[in-house]
Structure 1
Amino acid sequence: MNFLFAWRYFKAKKSTNAINVIAWVSIIAIMGITFAFIVVLSVFNGFEGLVKSLYSSFYPDIKIAAKTGKTIILTQQQLQQLSVIKGVRTYSLVAEEKTLLVNGDVQVIVDLKGVDTSYESVTGVAQKLIRGNFQTGSADEPALVLGNGVENAVGVESDKYIYPLTVYGFKRGMNINVADPSQSMAAANIITSGTFLIQQDIDNKYAITNLDFMKLMMGLGPNEYSGVELALHAGVDAEDAQKEIQNLLGLNYRVETKYEQNQSLYSVMNLEKWAIYGILTLMLIVAAFTMIGSLTMLVLEKQKDIQVLKSMGANNMLVQKIFLSEGLLLGSIGSIGGVLLAIIFCWAQVKYKLIAIQGGTFLIDYYPVKLVASDFLLVLFTVSLVAFLASWFPSRRAALQPIELRS
């Protein structure tokens, strides 16, 4: 019954036209903010998905590293046990250390990562090449796949440069000789074979070479590595595989999922999303004041109706529900209209790329959008809650009016 009254009050012509105007202003305001809610969160989801896909090309599903120190010991028996764990598709052994890459007078510090032949099956780096081939060579004739930023810094073109670069790394267990630091460093010539482009933080930091060569540079033992990177079968829960691997290897090893390897990145993304949500919620609260004004004027307009209803036996709760329903009706019309507009806009952005990214330096030339069902539920819940609170005070005022019928 209360929704029937609310609908009739919404459609009925008011004695003061300003009530209708303010009601529609509140609907349009809610519609606009709901539209902004969905579109902004969808754009954020689009960028978030893009960034995660880029990082996923470099970081494995699960990484095993030392809990303390820089290296781990893994026997062939342990590696065999890893390979038969349910969900593990393949693994790659890696050795990684900071090194100095020299090209004539140019010197660049890079994280040099030695990988085995299974590395291409564990990560997507080989699919992100923009020049050359993914060739890491051998222990005697190593080759180098450069990040795009490293390539620019060292001043070469990986697929055309015929002269070798020189790589320097500190010898394991050697004290630095201040008089002649080169005595405490291992050095080797290395050719370039290709360049990958993934994400700026990765491209400016990493270069990839042969595992055996890197172990010689670092002075590692036969079963000693910096870590192991694992790829899981599609649909396998990474946390379940993580627990099983941790139980197998023990507490002296650090086993991390893809999320844990980039925890700071994902935490910042979540924080930004909640910050956006908070700002838009504040805008919605400001817009709700127009609804309070509209309902307050409607209560004044319908004073006689309230008196009649109470004289016919309506209690305060029913009267309050009528005006609460009126506020929720205004909020529903605005939110549903905003959601429909947002869906149409996002569809048009994906299909026709309406809004471009200026500058032309990003990986894509238009703003990506991704509609997520949980965002719709969150936005509709937020709008409903704000509409309910905005309707509470005028409806409570209407319910508490005393009966003053006159002859």
Structure 2
Amino acid sequence: MNLPFFVARRYLFSKKSHNAINVISSISVIGIAVATMAMVCVLSVFNGFGSIVEGMFSAFDPDLKITVKEGKVFDYHMPEFERILSLDEIGLISESLEENALFMYEDRQVPVLVKGVSEEFNYLTDMDKLIIDGTFRLREDSVNYATLGAGLAVTLGVRAGFVHPILIYAPKRDVQVNLANPAGAFTTEAVQIGGIFSLNQPEYDEDMAIIPIELARRLFQYDTEVSSLDIQLKSGASVKEVKEKMRNALGSRYAVEDRYEQQKESYNMLQIEKWVTFLILAFILLIAVFNVAGSLSMLIVEKREDIRSFRHMGASDQLISRIFLYEGWLIAFWGIVVGIAVGLILCLAQQHFGLLRLGDTPGAYIVEAYPVVVKATDIFIVFVSVSVISFLTILYPIRNLKRYLKNDSIL
């Protein structure tokens, strides 16, 4: 039997002679529990928002994206690309060409990021989830179609199915503008409006239009060049392994990015917000844990007679110190367990019932209630963090106890 732990457990549940010690101990447990619960809930909510962002980008971004590190475009009809594009893990390949152009509809003009894509793009992405008006289509017979971001459509004042086409003006490369005939410096094409998409991201919704890549090449005077190759892997294929194979084969001239790297800034910002909030809650926890040190110090003073009895029975100073170390740890442990349990219960309730809502207006937000995703790694981090903070705080009264025992000043 672990004698120090047994005595500490008896001290924890026994009634103290001074009711203030019971009150402070209870406050300590509650304080740690509330701070721990807040950590679990906050981290889970950030995970929920992260999953929503990931889901929106996953519908648009490929598993792997190959771009050139220097310059805008590249021609992938080369031996090194033939080797990597013939890998068994690859399921689908889509060409993409992005450039800036001017869209004109009646008397409205808007600079636009034009994304030319091949027919495989429709199978590579889940555009049906993003379309809010019309349908996603690139070309029917001899008619070219453009799919516009929702913000861009509002700026132009258009909707899917409008009869009048949009005129696209792209500056000709290596051609100087002639003031007598400025239109001669631009390549002009017309497209019909096929659909409107919304990704709830301003850089896409307000600036992007998707057109056939053949039309984009005519506009920007390219032959077979692309801005990127978008790759979808077969089910079960390892993104990490395929990415490493491609990087080794292509060398340092090209960048091979997975979905997280394609949206690196967004993911990094979300993670920074998550862990900064976690640190703020950790400081709040530190204040709560000081109550444990206070209640432990008061308990040491109250148990002076017990300490004297232990000494007379031959207990070492180390054994006595361990009793109160375990006592402080048990107070913190109960707070941690209760906090994690309550936090998990609240997260599950939020997942199933949506107790906390983002607003009262239906459809005003992407989701009606705060999203929650509980991750085992976050629970482990919370448990370890709170345990370490509690343990380090408990060491202060224990160190004083050891000094008093050495000098016999507590007896």
TM class by shorter-chain length? over 0.9
**Contact kept? 1:328, 1:388, Cα under 8 Å:** yes
Once the two structures are TM-superposed, the CA of residue 232 in structure 1 deviates from its matched residue by: 1.4
Q: Do the aligned partners of 2:150 and 2:206 also contact (CA within 8 Å) in 1?
A: yes
**Amino acid paired to 2:55:** S
Asked whether the 8 Å contact 1:139–1:213 carries over to 2, the reply is: no
TM-score norm. by structure 1 comes to 0.94
Q: How does 1:212-291 map to 2 (within 5 A)?
A: 212-221=214-223, 223-291=224-292
Name the residue aligned to 1:109: 111
Q: Which residue does 1:386 correspond to in 2? A: 389
Q: Which runs of 5+ in 2 are unaligned?
A: none
Write the letter of the residue equivalent to 2:91: R
Q: 2 CA distance for matches of 1:177 and 1:280?
A: 63
* Other-structure match for 1:2: 4
Judge conservation of contact 1:327–1:390 (CA < 8 Å) in 2: no
Q: Which residue of 2 aligns with 1:46?
A: 48
Q: 1:404 to 1:191 in 2, by over 3 A?
A: closer
Deviates more, 1:131-140 or 1:369-378: 131-140
2:403 matched residue in structure 1? 400
Equivalents in 2 of 1:215, 1:78: separation in Å?
Answer: 23
The residue type equivalent to 1:274 in the other structure is W
Cα drift, residue 339 of structure 1: 1.2
Q: Which residue of 1 aligns with 2:336?
A: 335
Find the partner of 2:14 among 12, 15, 22: 12
Q: Distance in 1 between matches of 2:200 and 2:173?
A: 31
Q: TM-score scaled by structure 2? A: 0.93
Q: CA 1:178/1:399 → structure 2, altered by over 3 Å: closer, same or farther? A: farther
The alpha carbon displacement at 1:404 in A equals 7.1
How many angstroms does 1:348 deviate by?
1.2
- Secondary structure of 1:400's counterpart equals helix
What residue in structure 1 maps to residue 373 of structure 2? 370
1:98 aligns with 2:92: no
Structure 2 CA distance for aligned equivalents of residues 30 and 405 of structure 1? 29
Return the match for 1:127 from 103, 124, 129.
129
Unaligned regions of 5+ residues in structure 1, if any? none
After superposition, where does 1:153-232 map in structure 2 within 5 Å?
153-158=155-160, 160-177=161-178, 180-201=181-202, 202-221=204-223, 223-232=224-233
Tell me the secondary structure at the aligned position of residue 139 of structure 2: coil
CA 1:204/1:318 → structure 2, altered by over 3 Å: closer, same or farther?
same
Question: Relative to structure 1, is the Cα distance of residues 391 and 176 closer, same or farther in structure 2, using a 3 angstrom cutoff?
Answer: same
- 1:349-389 Cα offsets, whole Å, 9 max, x none, are 11111111115421111001011001111111111112111
Identify if the C-alpha distance between structure 1 residues 31 and 178 changes in structure 2 by more than 3 Å, giving closer, same or farther. Answer: farther
Among 20, 23, 26, which residue is 2:25 paired with?
23
- Equivalent position SS for 2:192: strand
Question: Matches of 2:357 and 2:306 in 1, distance apart?
Answer: 54
The answer to whether residue 75 in structure 2 is matched with residue 69 in structure 1 is no
Quick one: distance in 1 between partners of 2:128 and 2:211? 13
Aligned alpha-carbon RMSD (Å)? 1.9
> Could you say what secondary structure the match of 1:251 adopts?
helix
Moved over 6 A (4+): none
- Aligned position for 1:324: 325
Output the amino acid matched with 1:135.
R
